[in-house]
Amino acid sequence: MKNSKFVVRGGNELNGEITIQASKNATLPIMSAALLADGSIKLKNCPNISDVANMVKILKSLNVKVKKIKNNYIINPQNASNSQIDCELAKSMRSSIFLLGSTLSKFKTTTISMPGGCKIGARPIDISVNSLKKLGVKVVPQGDCLFFDATKAKAKKIKLRLPSVSATENLIQFACKLKGKTVIKNCAREPEVVDLCNFLNLMGAKIFGAGTSKITIIGVDKLVGVEYQPIGDRIVAGTIMIAVAICGGEVVLKNGVPYQNKKLIKILSSMGCKINIKNDIITISRQNKLSSAKLISTGCYPSFPTDLQSQMLVLSLFVEGKTRIVETVFENRFLIVGELKKLGARIKTLNNREVEIEGMQFLKGGEVLAQDLRGGASLVLAGLMGKAATIVSNIACIDRGYDSLEKMLSRLGADIKRQ
Ligand code: EPZ
């Protein structure tokens, strides 16, 4: 529902067991790469989130057959037709940019609308565009769209200006069936990039070096249909772990991909959380007061993830000591600060990339607005510590990436309702 809200009342510990949903940021590029299959793809246990539902709409607009059976998607791209990605749909979801690589590979020409920025930043696509140009793709601006022609593309070595996740994933998809050897240097190392490569290699692609800053792709003619389950969502897992750090208690996380969350686990342990990992299962507990992390600086993987920055900012309000948070990835990812101040938080903004937080604060509850996906989830975390009710509105932006956040938290003992 458009105007739904979360009503959160703090004070409860979190206890119990949770299975973490599949990763939004792995599922979306994998759904795009399914276009490249010469057969039918079955994606299992996909997250029930609006970004995935929108990606299905975009695929269907390209005449791809998509069938949803519970949380499984059967995707058959064999009758897909080369049509411009629906502009309105593309604008509604930034991740449509991931379709650039797969549609260009499949149809040889494609038109995408400039996905536009979002609240956390301008979200340019220059690295994808310039890299494809270096591979011989012709790019022609057409109004607020871009027309790409890959009929004369050639495999070669390229180096990215920045290890951009979307650019890396577009180039991998584009080069899978491009004759010859393509080498991408300074590429993104995120676990979701690795998952995309694992999916494509299972289909018969020849991709080497996933997870390192140099990926080599040998073009193949055919990619067969496969069954695949995207990896667990490290950001959702991290959000739940930080919720336990805020509320106290003990929670067991299954499918929480601990080895892709090392930085967060190291920081939470150093602050005083007890975290045990056994056979990929994370057990996190918090009994005593936490001490501050002192400095949290986000960066490209394996640095601390920007997608967990807002959550750690909220946690920093409640610990003993001062915390400095530096956001190096996006230029506008402190939107939550204004909302937290409505709850009585005291936060010092040093510049658009740096804030300083005194700990040992108590929030008074109140009405706040979710402005971006991860900031919105973090406002819910703030409500878990507030004495009085915290009402979070515009929760549609939280539903983009969390499969019923209120169900996850209330199953663990939190007092949170969707209204
Ligand atoms: C992906 O976004 C994720 N989204 C983001 O998660 C994540 O925060 C980000 O990677 C960084 O890890 C998905 O995977 C769907 P980038 P993406 O290209 O690919 C600049 C969430 O909450 N840049 O690595 O857009 C850009 O402005 C979302 O789940 C260029 O300058 O990230 C940004 O400052 C938020 N030119 C930085 O690089 C480009 O062509 C990182 O962008 C591309 C990016």
Distance in Å from the first CA to the final CA of the chain: 9
- What mean pLDDT do residues 165-179 have? 98
Residue 117: predicted pLDDT:
61
Among 79-93, 191-205, 386-400, name the one with the lowest average pLDDT.
79-93
Within 10 Å of residue 116's Cβ, how many Cβ atoms?
Answer: 14
Query: Is the pLDDT score of 257 beyond 80?
Result: yes
Question: Which of 191, 182, 192 lies closest to 159, judged by CA?
Answer: 182
Tokens read off for 384: 């878990």
Q: Which atom in ligand 1 lies closest to the alpha carbon of residue 331?
A: 34
Confidence of residue 289 (pLDDT cuts 50, 70, 90): very high
Tell me the residue type at 96.
S
User: 23 in ligand 1 pocket by Cβ < 6 Å?
Assistant: no
Per residue in 48-80, pLDDT (tens digit) is: 999 999 999 999 989 999 999 999 999 999 999
Q: Position 156: which residue type? A: K
Residues 348-400 have pLDDT tens digits of: 999 999 999 999 999 999 999 999 999 999 999 999 987 799 999 999 999 99
CA of 337 to the centre of ligand 1 (A): 21
71 vs 81 pLDDT, higher one = 71
What's the DSSP call for residue 306? G
**In this predicted structure, what is the pLDDT of residue 250?**
98
Ligand 1 center–CA 123 separation, angstroms: 7
**Which residues fall within 8 angstroms of residue 161, CB to CB, at 6 or more apart?**
126, 127, 130, 186
The answer to whether the CB of 167 is under 6 A from ligand 1 is yes
Q: The whole model's pTM is what?
A: 0.97
98: closest CA among 123, 63, 118? Answer: 123
Domains and CATH numbers, the chain: 6-21+232-418 (3.65.10.10), 24-228 (3.65.10.10)
pLDDT > 90? residue 326: yes
Q: For 220-247, what is each residue's pLDDT tens digit?
A: 999 999 999 999 999 999 999 999 999 9
* Torsion angles phi and psi, residue 48, rounded to 5: -90, 75
Six-digit token string for 277: 């990992």
Number of C-beta neighbours around residue 150 at 10 A: 22
**pLDDT value, residue 320:** 96
> Shortest CA distance to 182 belongs to which of 191, 171, 190?
171
Instruction: Return the ∠ at Cα 262 (arms to 261 and 265), rounded to 5°.
Output: 85
Q: Is the Cβ atom of 307 under 6 angstroms away from ligand 1?
A: yes
Q: Is 7 helix (H, G, I), strand (E, B) or coil?
A: strand
Q: CA dihedral defined by 309, 315, 319, 323, rounded to 10 degrees?
A: 20
pLDDT tops 70 at residue 316? yes
- Residue type present at position 98: F
Q: How far is the CA of 209 from the centre of ligand 1 (A)?
A: 21
Q: Residue 343 burial (CB < 10 Å; 0-12/13-18/19+)?
A: buried
Q: Which residue has 């009503």 as its token pair?
A: 7
Share of the chain above pLDDT 70, in %: 98
Residue 83 pLDDT: 66
User: Taking Cα atoms as reference points, which of 30, 28, 40 lies closest to residue 78?
Assistant: 40
Angle between helices 24-33 and 99-107 (to 10 degrees): 10
pLDDT of residue 116: 61
Q: What is the pLDDT of residue 164?
A: 97
Average pLDDT over residues 285-291: 95
Q: Is the dihedral of CA 372, 292, 250, 191 positive or negative?
A: positive
- Decide: 30 in ligand 1 pocket, CB within 6 A: no
For the segment 121-159, what is each residue's pLDDT rounded down to a tens digit?
Answer: 888 899 999 999 999 999 999 888 889 999 999 999 999
One-letter-per-residue 3-state SS of 288-317: CCCECCCEEEECCCCCECHHHHHHHHHHHC
Active site residues: 118
Closest to 230 in 3D by CA, of 23, 412, 375 = 23
Structure tokens belonging to residue 368: 């706040």
Could you tell me how far CA 380 lies from the centroid of its own chain?
A: 18
- Whether residue 125 has its Cβ less than 6 Å from ligand 1: yes
Q: Whose CA is nearest to atom 21 of ligand 1?
A: 307
Average pLDDT over residues 152-173: 97
Residues 6+ positions from 407 with CB-CB distance below 8 Å: none
Residue 302: asked if its preceding bond is cis (omega within 30°), the reply is yes
